[in-house]
Amino acid sequence: MRLTLLGTGSADGWPNPWCECASCAWARAHEPRGQTAVLVDDRLLIDFGPDVPRAASRFGVSLAGLRHVLVGHAHPDHLGPEALMWRSWSTVADRPLDVVAPPAALEVCRAFLRRWEGTEPGGDGSPLRLLPAVAGDHLELAGPAGPGYLVRPVAARHGDDSIGPAVLYDVTAPDGARLLYGCDTAVPLPPATLAALAGRAFDVVLLEENNGDRPGFGEHLDLPDFAELVAELRALGAVVPSTRVLAVHLSHRNPPGGELTSRLARVGAEAPPDGSVLEIPPGGGRRPAGGTAPGDTGVSGTEAGGTAAPRRVLITGGTRSGKSAQAEDWLRAEPEVVYVATGWAPDGSDPEWAARVAAHRERRPARWHTLETQELEPLLRSPGPALLVDSVSLWVAARLDDPDFGTAVDRLVAAWRAARRRVVAVTDEVGSGAVAPTAAGRRFADRLGQVNARLAAESDEVWLAVAGLATRLRPA
C-alpha cells in the first residue's frame, strides 16, 4: 500500500490564512498544511475537500487513475463536489468513478451536479456510481483485474444525520495491507465502532488531532484525547507495535514545530508533512498467527517509526512548571499505567495540599491505577505496566532524617538502572532557587540534588519543564 498525503491540515488549514498567532506564524514559514486527504495506490482517495485537486497538482500527482473516492461526512472540507464537475471536463471524464459516502454527503453531490451540470449522477450513462457508506456495512470496490479494496465504514462521533451520519473507514487494500482512517471524530467512540475495530491490527492508522492544547472546538480530538484513543486502540489490538500512527487534520490549536513532533512521538505517533509518500508493507502491523487478540498490546512502548521508547525517563522542574502534566502526557497512550503517588494522602488538615492532590487525580485517565506507596524498589524491579512516579522529591522528604539514607538511595538507583518496565519519574529542580534559610531545607536541597543527579545519570532521557514547556537535556 502506497499512501500519498495530499493534505494533513484542518478545515481552515495550518496556518489559518487570516491568523497571526505564533503557531500560524511558524507553520506559514516552515510547514503549511492543507485540508486532509490521503491517496491510496493512486486509485482510492479518502476525503475530497476543495483543496485536494490543487494539492495533487502542486505535488505533481495525477488523479487520472482514481477509481474510488471515500468521504467521511458532508462538511465542506471533506467534500468538494465541484471537483466531480472539473473531472467531467477532462480526458478521463467517461471512466467509472465510485463515490462512497454517507447519505447526506451523497445528496450534496447530487444537488450540486443537478444544479451545475444538469445531470443525474449515477443515472444511465453516468460514469459516477454513488454508494452509501453506512456503519456496519461492507463494500467491495473492484480492481481493474483481480481483487480490489474492501471497505468497512464504522460510526464516528461527529455531527448529526444532516452531515452523514459521519463514518470512519477501515480499508483493506488488494495486497492485504490494512488502514484505519479516523477523521473526523471525538471520543469516546461508539461501542459498536470499538467492537468492529477490535483485533484488526492495522498497518497504518490516520487519526485526526484538530484541537491540540485548546480543547472544546467542535467534536474533535485534542492532544490528550488523541493519546487516550491510541491507548484504547492498543488495548483492543487495533494498534500493535508495528502500526504506524499518523496525526492528521492538524490546526493552529496545536503547538508549533518540534514541540508537536516530540509530544506525538511520546505516544508512538508522527505527523508527516503534506506531500509525503509512505510505503506501508502488507502485514507489517500484524503478527504471523492470525493477528493480535484484543488486550494483547505488545507494549510497552514504541515511538514513531517503530523505534523503542525510552524505558527510564526523568522529568525535573520547579514548582508549577508543568512537570507532572508533562509526565502524564508521556504515558497517556499506554493501555495500562500504575500511578505511584509517593506523597501523603490528604487528611483534611491542609486544604491547599488536598486541592493539589484533587487536581492531579482529575487529570489522570480513568483507566490508570493509583498506588500510594514509598516502596519504589520492588515496583521497578518487577515486570508490569508502565509506572509514573510522582514524585522523587516526596520520596526524599520522607527519608530526610533516615540514618541509612545513603543505602536507600543506592538501592533506588540500582532498581532504576535495572527497571523491568517503562517508567517516568517526576522530581523537583532544586538548583535554581535561593539557598534555604533553615538547616532542614538546605539538607533537603542537597540530598534531592544528589538523588536527581544519580537518577539522571542512569536515565535514557532527562527533560526540564519550564513554564509548561519541556526541553530535553539527555540525550542532547
Q: Could you read off the pLDDT of 125-142 as tens digits, one per residue?
A: 899 999 999 999 999 998
Task: Spell out the residues 6+ positions from residue 410 whose beta carbon is closer than 8 angstroms to its own.
Answer: none
Mean pLDDT of 274-288: 79
Could you tell me which of 463, 382, 371 has the C-alpha nearest to residue 421?
Answer: 382
| 14-35 exposure pattern, b = at least 16 Cβ within 10 A, e = fewer | bbbeebeeebbebbbeebebbb
CA-closest candidate to residue 333, choices 226, 238, 240:
226
Q: What is the dihedral angle through the alpha carbons of 369, 374, 375, 380, rounded to the nearest 10 degrees?
A: 60
Is pLDDT at 282 greater than 90 in this prediction? no
Q: What is the CA radius of gyration of the chain?
A: 25
Question: What pTM did the predictor assign?
Answer: 0.89
Q: Amino acid identity, residue 19? A: C
Residues 421 and 387 sit within 8 Å (Cβ to Cβ): yes
Angular region, 425: left φ>0, alpha ψ -120 to 50, beta rest:
beta
Mind listing the pLDDT tens digit for each residue in 310-336? 799 999 999 899 999 999 999 999 999
Q: How confident is residue 363, by pLDDT bands cut at 50, 70 and 90?
A: confident
Q: What's residue 291's pLDDT? A: 34
Distance, CA of 402 to CA of 399 (rounded, Å): 5
pLDDT value at position 304?
55
Dihedral sign computed on CA atoms, order 83, 89, 91, 93? positive
What's the pLDDT tens digit per position in 76-114?
999 999 999 999 999 999 999 999 999 999 999 999 999
The pLDDT value recorded for residue 303 is 56
Q: How confident is the model at residue 353 (pLDDT cuts 50, 70, 90)?
A: low
Contact 140/44 with Cβ under 8 angstroms? no
- Which residue blocks in 254-339 are alpha helix, DSSP H? 258-266, 323-331
Length of the chain: 476
Q: What percent of the chain has pLDDT over 70?
A: 94
* pLDDT band at residue 285 under the 50/70/90 scheme: very low
Residue 476 reports pLDDT greater than 80: no
The answer to whether 390 and 358 have CB atoms below 8 angstroms apart is: no
Cβ(448)–Cβ(426) below 8 Å: no
CA distance readout (Å), 248 to 5, 207, 219: 9, 6, 15
Question: What pLDDT is attached to residue 143?
Answer: 74
Give just the sign of the alpha carbon dihedral 432, 438, 443, 448: negative
Residues 6+ apart with CB under 8 A from 408: 399, 402
Kindly tell me the burial class for residue 474, based on how many C-beta atoms sit within 10 Å of its own C-beta (0-12, 13-18, 19 or more): middle
Is 360 a residue of the active site?
yes
**pLDDT on residue 302:** 53
Mean pLDDT taken over the chain: 91
Q: How confident is the model at residue 299 (pLDDT cuts 50, 70, 90)?
A: very low
- Give the three-class secondary structure for 398: helix
Give the model's pLDDT for residue 119.
86
- pLDDT (0 to 100) of residue 357: 73
Using CA of residue 308, residue 309, residue 313, residue 316, what is the dihedral sign? positive
The active-site residue, picked from 78, 158, 249, 360, is 360
Please tell me the distance from the alpha carbon of residue 429 to that of residue 464, in angstroms, as a whole number. Answer: 8
